[in-house]
Amino acid sequence: GKRKATGNANNPNHDLCDFLMELADYERNVSKNVYKYNAYRKAAGTLSALTERVKSGEEAKKLPGIGVKIAKKIDEFLQTGKLQKLEDIKKDDINIAISLLARVSGIGPAKAKELVEAGIKTLEDLKKHQDKLTHHQKLGLKYFDDFEKKIPRAEIAQIEKILKNAIKELNSAYLITICGSYRRGKEESGDIDVLITHPDYISKVKNGKKKAVSLKTIIECLEKKKLITDTISLGSTKFMGICQLPEDKSKPFRRLDIRLTFHDQYYCAILYFTGSDLFNKNMRAHALEKKYTLNEYALKRLTIEGRPGEAEKITSEEDVFKFLGLPYKDPKDRNI
Ligand code: DCP
Ligand code: MG
Ligand code: MN
């Protein structure tokens, strides 16, 4: 909150008054200690009325409203030019503000720090400075409360049904899998991760057939069905956006990621987007030990020079495990 200025430049103790008022603010706003709040204010008031600079805590202690503790703080400030307690509070305050802003979808720690350094510390502040935000960040702010809510499994199942019906209406050959934590059997998820392919959509060969498959068309279809409500970003293979159950407007808005992948890369993609991220890390490390490189597109044997060779033919997740000499793990056993 705002606080009154303690005198002006003519006040020979204005720097002392300032730090006492900062402590007062902290006691009122954070500690909720009205007693200390009033004590600091009273001390600042006393100092602001003086016409001479205070020389020591000892001297200040003789004045009304200044006890041993405040006198010690005055000494520290006179000797070091700052107050460690206040420095710590400020650092805490800044870190808390950075953590809050970084919870907005699209705002990373660097951007959060930049905003806080510019004096933007709360979601209220952020609402007033939307010109500083990207499209993604604006949506993150708009749906802040909803995006903090986990998505129950049953709701994803409902969304899955609508999504699959709609896309298969476009073309019944589309293959659709919801991956992420949902596929790992979790009861709640942070977002919805959808993977789509089509048998005609393959990495190599003629562009002709690929044209029949379009992520943009799929997104437009899902917008028409009132499932997708906002687009964060849309490329030819990756959509990031927001959805809501069309039949129940009381349900929160949810983060939805959709990826269109080539049919011959579908199972590596499913493996990757099913996670968990740690499981993926371990599997990639294991692949390297076996002289393979694994990513969301392909599994490739490494040559003697350590370069990736041709992609192995993968037609199921099990294939990847087999190539790496690992026993197959069900998605629900990948929650590490
Ligand atoms: N992924 C990964 N490495 C990352 C990010 C993601 O391997 N740094 C993969 C594994 C994840 C999947 O992508 O399981 C989906 O990413 P999410 O961030 O959506 O994570 P989850 O779906 O696992 O969890 P949540 O319920 O929080 O969405
Ligand atoms: Mg997810
Ligand atoms: Mn995701």
Q: What is the pLDDT of residue 1?
A: 39
* Predicted-complex ipTM score: 0.99
Sign of the CA dihedral with 197 first, then 203, 205, and 211 last: positive
Q: Which ligand is nearest to the CA of 331?
A: 1
pLDDT in tens, 169-187: 999 999 999 999 999 999 9
Q: Which ligand is nearest to the CA of 258?
A: 3
Q: What is the pLDDT of residue 98?
A: 95
- Flag the least confident range among 2-16, 38-52, 82-96, 224-238: 2-16
Cα 181 to middle of ligand 3, angstroms: 9
Distance CA 310, CA 300 (A): 6
pLDDT in tens, 52-85: 999 999 999 999 999 999 999 999 999 999 999 9
Q: Span 7-14, mean pLDDT?
A: 77
Mean residue pLDDT of the chain comes to 94
Give ion ligand 2 contacts, CB < 5 A. 180, 191, 193
Q: What is the pLDDT of residue 30?
A: 85
**Cis (ω within 30 of 0) for the bond into 276?**
yes
Cα 273 to middle of ligand 2, angstroms: 8
Cα 268 to middle of ligand 3, angstroms: 16
Give ion ligand 3 contacts, CB < 5 A. 191, 193, 257
Q: Ligand 1 atom 10: the closest Cα is on which residue?
A: 275
Q: Which residue in 32, 62, 72, 73 is the catalytic one?
A: 73
What angle, rounded to 10 degrees, do the helices at 68-80 and 34-48 form? 60
Residues 6+ apart with CB under 8 A from 330: none
- Say which DSSP state 28 is in: I
Looking at this protein, which amino acid is placed at residue 13?
N
Q: Is residue 206 annotated as part of the catalytic site, yes or no?
A: no
> CB under 6 Å to ligand 1: residues?
180-181, 189-191, 193, 272-273, 275-277, 280
pLDDT in tens, 307-334: 999 999 999 999 999 999 999 999 999 9
Q: Which atom of ligand 1 is nearest to the CA of 180?
A: 22
Q: Which residue, 333, 331, 336, is CA-closest to 183?
A: 331
Q: Ligand 1 atom 22: the closest Cα is on which residue?
A: 180
pLDDT in tens, 142-152: 999 999 999 99
For 314, the token pair is: 């993968």
Q: Which atom of ligand 1 is nearest to the CA of 191?
A: 28
Q: What is the pLDDT of residue 125?
A: 97
Q: What is the pLDDT of residue 204?
A: 81
The 10 Å Cβ neighbour count of residue 122 is: 12
pLDDT in tens, 253-278: 999 999 999 999 999 999 999 999 99
Cα 41 to middle of ligand 2, angstroms: 50
